[in-house]
Chain A
Amino acid sequence: MTENNSAVSIRNVTKIFNQGRPNEVVALEDISLEIQPNEFVSLIGPSGCGKSTLLRIIAELLQPTRGEVQVYGKTAHQARLDQDYGFVFQSATLYDWRTVAKNVQLPLEVMGFSREQRKQRASEMLKLVELEGFENHYPWQLSGGMQQRVSIARALSFNPKLLLMDEPFGALDEMTRERMNLELQRIWDRTQTTIVFVTHSIPEAVFLSSRVVLLSPRPGRITEILDIDLPMPRAWEVREDPHYFELVNHLRDTLRAIEGGVQ
């Protein structure tokens, strides 16, 4: 194993589901990617190209068929044991017997934070995702977008070193989504965490990321890695920058070509 300072180091990762059976799926093929500390990397690509699978492999929720993943110089397994991951799943995944506040506190409970710390962190996080006053609501009393914001608050609550976010804003309306984008960018700026972010929205990916990774489907491969060389931190006005449009258009064309090639 070579010395390296990457936050995430993915080397020749291949994932084959149901290998050797008739329903075999090659979800990822020979993925290699280095993510530096405090980077914001977005994964973008057509549905079913293996974005969620890649996030799960990084978090050691799935084992790669071949290849290996290192996180801050440790094995993915060790990083998981060290509680380095904050995972926002594609579905909100709240526990319906817990109130909103209790859901946010779940990781803190597992990690042994004191009651006061838990309460304080939870109310801070809920403020961040604009859900003050909903502490004692149950998940089924919230809209889908609100539920997803609770799950973001939960992932942020313990300041994980690596945030893995699977389409966290997919269920939000345009206005809330824009506010959440600004908020996430602020959190990232403040906390110095590394973020791997999956999205279907090209403008969102360009606005937030330091790099965008484009995946092609069946089998999932990296088609292109694009540096987003827009100034940081980004204000909303970036979205009027001509270079911003260039990048968005470039990604849009490449993605169209990928999807066209598949069909």
Chain B
Amino acid sequence: MTTAASTPSASRLPRSARQLIAFLLIVLAILVVWEGAKYLGGDPWRADSNPFGIEHRPPFRVKVLSDLNLPHVWSIIEAFGNPARRNGPPLVQILFDAAVYTFREAFAGFVIGGLLGFLLGAIFAHVRLFERGCMPYVVASQTVPIIAIAPMVIIWLKAGWISVAVISAYLTFFPVTINTLRGLKSPDPTQLELMHSFAASTWTIMWKLRFPAALPYIFTSLKVSATTSVVGAIIGELPSGIRQGLGGAILNFNQYYISGPGRLWATIIVSALVGIFFFILVALVERLVLSGRYPKTEIS
């Protein structure tokens, strides 16, 4: 679409470039606030511990802003480069491997949860009785905390990446079910009448009308699910005793927080990046699949 570029008020840069700039500006703003707070209320800055060689005594002392609670940005960056164990590989490499491992679990959970969610939504949309009968249980399943479900899943399936994927799927399927149901019911009566006027079968109506009409709704839920699947995978790793993923890394660096707070923060940042990466992946597929439609999806 060139619509944005053709309006006189819009900047000449392409949309994606403007989005990137906005994103970087926000990151910069967070960094400024972060270090600004530490400048005002953190521990004293020593010249040999920051890249600018600044010697500074903050005017206030706030406990949450201490170097232990909120390490300097450069301490976190430094932590990425240092080995986590003596003579081991640098932390970035460990975290990269862990991120790939967790992403695979999350992806498996996302696929299982997405398919299950779609299937449930499709059944509910077609069988009124099922919707009435089963929806309360589906809703109830979401009120049980994942912490209580995870050990059960591990008992049933044995600890492993499959159990982690199932736990992740448990967190993912619900938004997909709700949105699929809503989307499949979204065609207006005349759109359905058109299909009936040439005696289309329920199956044809499903694939030529209901499903395409539901796609924008489904993608909205898949974007939610992409991020929660990563959360699910990280949480699922904890009771499964899996050490190769980000959940294991969080557990590990949490234990040794005092000796190096930067490492846990680095792990948190990587976890967030995995979620963002997955979200962007789904958003790109969405843009591809929904291209040409009424541009309401572009407004977001």
Query: CB within 8 Å of B: which residues of A?
Result: 56, 59, 61, 80-83, 85-87, 89, 91, 93, 95-97, 99, 106-107, 109-111, 138, 140, 158
Contacts and interface: CB of A to CB of B under 8 A. Distances in A.
Interface in B188-241: 190-191, 193-200, 204, 208-209, 212-213, 215
Contact of A87 (B191, B194, B208, B294): B194
A110 B204 contact: yes
14 contacts: A61-B193, A61-B197, A80-B196, A81-B199, A83-B198, A83-B199, A95-B212, A97-B212, A97-B213, A97-B215, A97-B290, A138-B294, A140-B295, A158-B198
List 7 tightest A-B contacts by C-beta distance, closest first. Answer: A87-B197, A140-B294, A93-B190, A97-B212, A110-B200, A107-B198, A61-B193
Given A96-B293, A97-B215, A110-B204, A61 B199 contact: no
Given A61-B193, A93-B191, A80 B199 contact: yes
Given A110-B204, A138-B292, A138-B293, A95 B209 contact: yes
Contact of B208 (A85, A93, A99, A106): A106
Interface in B278-300: 290, 292-295
A110 B294 CA distance: 24
Contact of A95 (B191, B198, B200): B191
A93 B194 contact: yes
B199 A99 contact: no
Contact of A56 (B193, B293, B295): B193
Contacts of A81: 199
Given A91-B190, A97-B292, 8 more contacts: A80-B197, A82-B199, A89-B190, A95-B191, A95-B209, A97-B290, A110-B208, A140-B293
A97 B204 CA distance: 16
Contacts of B215: 97
B133 to A, nearest CB: 28
B197 A97 contact: no
Interface of B: 190-191, 193-200, 204, 208-209, 212-213, 215, 290, 292-295
Contacts of A99: 292
Contacts of A95: 191, 209, 212-213
A91 B208 CA distance: 19
Nearest to A83: B198
A109 B208 contact: yes
Nearest to B204: A110
A56 B189 CA distance: 12
Q: Which interface residue of A97, A106, A140 has the most chain B CB atoms within 10 A?
A: A97
B194 A89 contact: yes
Contacts of A158: 198
Given A91-B190, A93-B190, A109-B208, A61 B196 contact: yes
Q: Which interface residue of B208, B215, B292 has the most chain A CB atoms within 10 A?
A: B292
Q: Which interface residue of B195, B198, B199, B213 has the most chain A CB atoms within 10 A?
A: B198
A111 B209 CA distance: 15
Contacts of A59: 197
A168 B208 CA distance: 24
Contacts of B204: 110
Contacts of A87: 193-194, 197
A110 B200 CA distance: 6
A61 to B, nearest CB: 5
A91 B188 CA distance: 12
A56 B194 CA distance: 11
Nearest to A59: B197
B185 to A, nearest CB: 16
Q: Which interface residue of B194, B209, B215, B293 has the most chain A CB atoms within 10 A?
A: B194
A158 B194 CA distance: 14
Nearest to B200: A110
Nearest to B197: A87
Contacts of A106: 194, 208
Contacts of B194: 87, 89, 93, 106
A85 B209 CA distance: 19
A255 to B, nearest CB: 27
Contacts of B191: 93, 95
Contacts of B293: 96-97, 138, 140
A102 B189 CA distance: 21
Contacts of B196: 61, 80
Nearest to A158: B198
A263 to B, nearest CB: 30
Contacts of A110: 195, 198, 200, 204, 208
A53 to B, nearest CB: 12
